[in-house]
Amino acid sequence: MCGIVAWYSQSTGPELVETGREMLSRIVHRGPDDSGQTLVGERTWLGHNRLSIVGLEDGAQPLEGPRGWAMVCNGEIYNDAQLRESLSGFRFGTGSDNESALALLALHGPRALDRLQGMWALCAATPDGRFIAARDRLGIKPLYWAKVGDTHLFASEMRAFSLDVQHAVAAFPPGCWWTPEDGLVRFAEAVTPAEVRADAVEQRTRDVLVDSIRRHLMADVEVGVFLSGGLDSSIVAAVAADEYARRGARLKTFSVGTTGSPDLAAAREAAEFLGTEHHEAVFDAAQAIDALEDVIASVESYDAGLIRSAVPNWFLAELAARHVKAVLTGEGADELFAGYGYYHEQHPAPGELRRELERTVGLLHGLNLQRCDRVTMAHGLEARVPFLDTAVVTHAMSLPDEVKLLGEDGIEKSHLRRAFTGWLPDSVLWRRKLEFGTGSGAQDLLTPYWERQVSDDDLAVARADTDTQVRSKEELAYYRAFRRALPEIRPHSVLTRFALA
């Protein structure tokens, strides 16, 4: 995992090399282990800050390949071993999983990128002026870009861009690649459903998840699990703990909350049942308020729901980073298996639920995945999301709506719970859904605080500003902190701004 920066220009100058170096320095937190850069021909510069997870000894970037190709990549390629077997015409020089992405580009061009299974964003170039930028189908790993004159700038975070460029920054769209010749081209959709047989559906759901979780443990370092005590993270912990036991090792799990919060209690119960080495971070109101500026600057958002969950995530990542360099999380399960109450309240008609799930899966890159990536990488920690593996997404989105409806007792994700019967204590397996900001206790600290601190008049003035679009006093407070961190970013322009070719 890492942070990447690149630029491509039709008319380069020496000052652009310094621009790249300055951008790279602003995201050094994403890769504290190493840093590398290279000028590729006259039109491209590539920079990389590295967090070493796979290929510890020989995985430094930029990576070099045949025909002058050079590449920087942020992410993990989980089918690296299979790709290496199939790409017999490429001489691999490192143990880095990212090199399989470079091999695909060098041998088959950007149209082969749909063969990559994992989370990634990359920029690559050759000395003769070829250049490509691309991002995984779900946008699990971040990438932003800006066009200034005849120069395109790319970076893992918005904060990398200087103030005079921030007005032009946009999110690079997931599932797309860009070249100067072809423009922006989509190579993969977020959701590609397949047919699922009606028999043994729960067994197949369990099998596909177990396989994904085990593959996401691929690393040359120890991997832990964020364990909230909710269904999704507990399933991940259960499978990971079983895999670590097979290796003769003990899984490390991490939970967070205020004193007496329900998440802490449930996580302890799950950890004891699974026999993990469990660690806790406990925070109070003063600590939560003190951390807000750093959290908002890191997450690069002011959405109140996102920040309420990002605050406990901040303390959780800080704790985990003292013990491991990578963690698995339960992100994406609610969007795949209809875990949120509004899915069932607002989309009860046949077909409606599927369409809404597809919509929200497609938006994850600008919401929960953004929070997950930024908060962990702020502490030099890699977060992996096994529920969002391509095979899991394809399976889950192929299930009929009926499988995802509320159970007779009104509880959500009954299908997923039944699939993992026996893997967890029933009190955890059938624990009702609580938003992370609620279960950790963060909402009870933050929302009342800002209700007292922000006046009704301030909120009325902010709501009259069509560029601000805040929904509450709490969100107004977060918007002000967002503005201090990124004064020139247009908050609602960091969705895709460039048309697809």
Q: What is the pLDDT of residues 74-83, one digit of tens each?
A: 999 999 999 9
Examine the pLDDT at 466 and tell me if it is beyond 70.
no
Q: What is the mean pLDDT of residues 106-127?
A: 95
Q: Is residue 209 part of a domain?
A: yes
Please name the helix (run of DSSP H) or strand (run of DSSP E) that holds residue 294, with its range, or none: helix 285-299
Q: Which pair of tokens denotes residue 96?
A: 């880095």
- By residue range, what is the domain housing residue 33? 2-186
Q: What is the mean pLDDT of residues 467-481?
A: 90
What's the rounded Cα separation, in Å, for the pair 171 and 190?
16
The one-character DSSP state at 339 is -
What confidence tens digit (pLDDT) does each residue in 252-270 have? 999 999 999 999 999 999 9
pLDDT at 44: 95
Residue 113 CA: distances (Å) to CA of 20, 104, 119, 187, 332? 26, 7, 12, 7, 22
Amino acid code (one letter) for 419: A
Token pair 């197949």 is found at 204
Assign residue 55 a region: left if phi > 0, alpha if psi is -120 to 50, beta otherwise?
left
Q: Is residue 157 part of a domain?
A: yes
Examine the pLDDT at 249 and tell me if it is beyond 70.
yes
**Does 97 appear as a known binding residue?**
yes
Clarify whether residues 208 and 180 are in a common domain.
no
List Cβ neighbours of 237 (8 Å cut-off, separation of 6 or more): 225, 227, 251, 253, 270, 271, 274, 276
Count Cα atoms within 13 angstroms, Cβ side, for 291: 26
Q: Which of residues 157, 186, 215 is at a domain's end?
A: 186
Return the closest-CA partner of residue 151 out of 16, 55, 34.
16
33 by Cβ neighbours in 10 Å (0-12 / 13-18 / 19+) ranks as middle
What confidence tens digit (pLDDT) does each residue in 165-200 have? 999 999 999 999 999 999 999 999 999 876 666 668
Q: What is the mean pLDDT of residues 124-142?
A: 96
Backbone angles phi, psi at 231, to 5 degrees: -60, -50
Residues paired with 371 in a beta bridge: none
What's the rounded Cα separation, in Å, for the pair 499 and 501?
6
Q: Using the Cα atoms of residue 100, residue 105, residue 109 and residue 113 in order, give the sign of their dihedral.
A: positive
Clarify whether residues 216 and 175 are in a common domain.
no
Q: Which of residues 151, 186, 221 is at a domain's end?
A: 186
Examine the pLDDT at 304 and tell me if it is beyond 50.
yes
CATH number at residue 430: 3.40.50.620
Residues paired with 282 in a beta bridge: 257
Examine the pLDDT at 11 and tell me if it is beyond 90.
no
Return the closest-CA partner of residue 168 out of 150, 184, 145, 151.
145
Residue 321 CA: distances (Å) to CA of 28, 289, 375? 16, 21, 11
Task: Indicate the average pLDDT of the chain.
Answer: 92
Return the closest-CA partner of residue 388 out of 423, 420, 361, 360.
361
Clarify whether residues 64 and 152 are in a common domain.
yes
Amino acid code (one letter) for 224: G
What confidence tens digit (pLDDT) does each residue in 17-50 have? 999 999 999 999 998 888 999 999 989 999 999 8
Residue 303 CA: distances (Å) to CA of 46, 296, 306, 470, 473? 32, 9, 5, 8, 12
Q: Are 211 and 163 in contact (CB under 8 A)?
A: no
Q: What is the chain's percent helix, strand, coil content, to nearest 5? A: 45, 20, 35
**Does 256 appear as a known binding residue?**
yes
pLDDT at 78: 95
Examine the pLDDT at 439 and tell me if it is beyond 50.
yes
Clarify whether residues 132 and 263 are in a common domain.
no
Q: Is residue 150 part of a domain?
A: yes
What's the rounded Cα separation, in Å, for the pair 387 and 364?
12
Count Cα atoms within 13 angstroms, Cβ side, for 176: 20
pLDDT at 94: 86
Q: Which of residues 163, 186, 209 is at a domain's end?
A: 186
Model confidence at 86, in pLDDT bands (50, 70, 90)?
very high
Q: Which pair of tokens denotes residue 190?
A: 């977020």
Q: Where are the alpha helices (DSSP H) in 130-258?
A: 201-215, 231-246
Clarify whether residues 369 and 469 are in a common domain.
yes
The secondary structure of 201-221, three-state, reads HHHHHHHHHHHHHHHCCCCCC
Examine the pLDDT at 55 and tell me if it is beyond 80.
no
Is the model more confident about 465 or about 287? 287
Of 19-23, 132-136, 230-234, 465-469, the poorest mean pLDDT is in 465-469
What's the rounded Cα separation, in Å, for the pair 405 and 399?
11
Clarify whether residues 215 and 273 are in a common domain.
yes
pLDDT at 434: 83
Q: What is the mean pLDDT of residues 42-71?
A: 87
Clarify whether residues 120 and 249 are in a common domain.
no
Clarify whether residues 175 and 95 are in a common domain.
yes
Catalytic residue among 2, 73, 123, 372: 2
Model confidence at 383, in pLDDT bands (50, 70, 90)?
very high
Total domains in the fold of the chain: 2
pLDDT at 66: 82
pLDDT at 396: 95
Does the annotation mark 2 as catalytic?
A: yes
What confidence tens digit (pLDDT) does each residue in 360-381 have? 999 999 999 999 999 999 999 9
Clarify whether residues 162 and 227 are in a common domain.
no
pLDDT at 501: 31
Q: Is residue 501 part of a domain?
A: no
Backbone angles phi, psi at 7, to 5 degrees: -140, 150
Clarify whether residues 170 and 256 are in a common domain.
no
Model confidence at 1, in pLDDT bands (50, 70, 90)?
low
Q: Is residue 400 part of a domain?
A: yes
3-state class of 449 per DSSP?
helix
What's the rounded Cα separation, in Å, for the pair 68 and 260?
58
Q: What is the mean pLDDT of residues 121-144?
A: 97
